[in-house]
């Protein structure tokens, strides 16, 4: 894309989430979508989180991706402080395999929505693809790329061979 100002903010509760969350960043890179990634925690850096999210719309950000694990309140706190679409990605946690993250991200009270994706890497990739779909509504070249991606993906799956078959 010609523009270089970030359109998507990728936030994560801890640097330890990056191994999973980098798949969202890599997916956005594939579509050439300008974005920025930050570690901001609903619990450990509450003031900085609210400050960042409240300023995001004014800075030209159009979608927020928020990834967190355990008592995962990051996406909810983001959604409470912006009207931008917030996509939540539950991290797989050591103790409960991400069920804790999933429930604390998805079970928002009516009125403050978080679009919650799958636990872990598939969720990170899909959050980025959903962000691309949102941005593509007003950017025909991005819509073309998304269609091309789907066609390529379909082609790969249809070509797959099963061993012994």
Name the residues that contact ligand RP5, by CB under 6 A. Answer: 12-14, 16-17, 41, 68-70, 91
Q: How far is the CB of 159 from ligand RP5 (least distance, A)?
A: 37
Which of 31/69 has CB closer to ligand RP5?
69
The answer to whether 13 and 67 are in contact (CB under 8 A) is yes
Q: How far is the CB of 74 from ligand RP5 (least distance, A)?
A: 7
Which of 70/115 has CB closer to ligand RP5?
70
User: Is 100 strand, coil or helix?
Assistant: helix
User: CB-side exposure of 4: number of CA atoms within 13 Å?
Assistant: 0
Q: How far is the CB of 92 from ligand RP5 (least distance, A)?
A: 9
Which of 31/70 has CB closer to ligand RP5?
70
Which of 68/87 has CB closer to ligand RP5?
68
* 30 φ, ψ (degrees, to nearest 5): -60, -35
Beta-carbon contacts of 83 under 8 Å, excluding residues fewer than 6 positions away, are 57
Q: How far is the CB of 3 from ligand RP5 (least distance, A)?
A: 29
Strands (E), the chain: 8-12, 35-39, 63-68, 86-90, 115-116
């Amino acid at each position: 894309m010609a523009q270089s100002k970030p359109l998507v903010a990728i936030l994560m509760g801890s640097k330890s989430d990056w191994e999973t969350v980098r798949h969202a960043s890599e997916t956005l890179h594939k579509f050439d979508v300008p974005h920025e990634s930050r570690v901001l925690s609903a619990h450990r850096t509450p003031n900085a989180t609210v400050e960042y999210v409240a300023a995001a719309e004014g800075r030209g950000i159009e979608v927020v991706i928020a990834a967190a694990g355990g008592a995962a309140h990051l996406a909810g706190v983001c959604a409470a402080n912006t009207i931008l679409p917030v996509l939540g990605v539950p991290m797989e946690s050591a103790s409960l395999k991400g069920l804790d993250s999933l429930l604390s991200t998805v079970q928002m009270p009516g009125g403050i929505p978080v679009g919650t994706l799958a636990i872990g890497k598939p969720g990170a990739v899909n959050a980025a693809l959903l962000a691309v779909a949102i941005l593509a509504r007003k950017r025909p070249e991005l819509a073309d790329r998304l269609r091309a991606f789907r066609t390529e993906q379909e082609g790969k799956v249809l070509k797959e061979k099963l061993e012994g078959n």
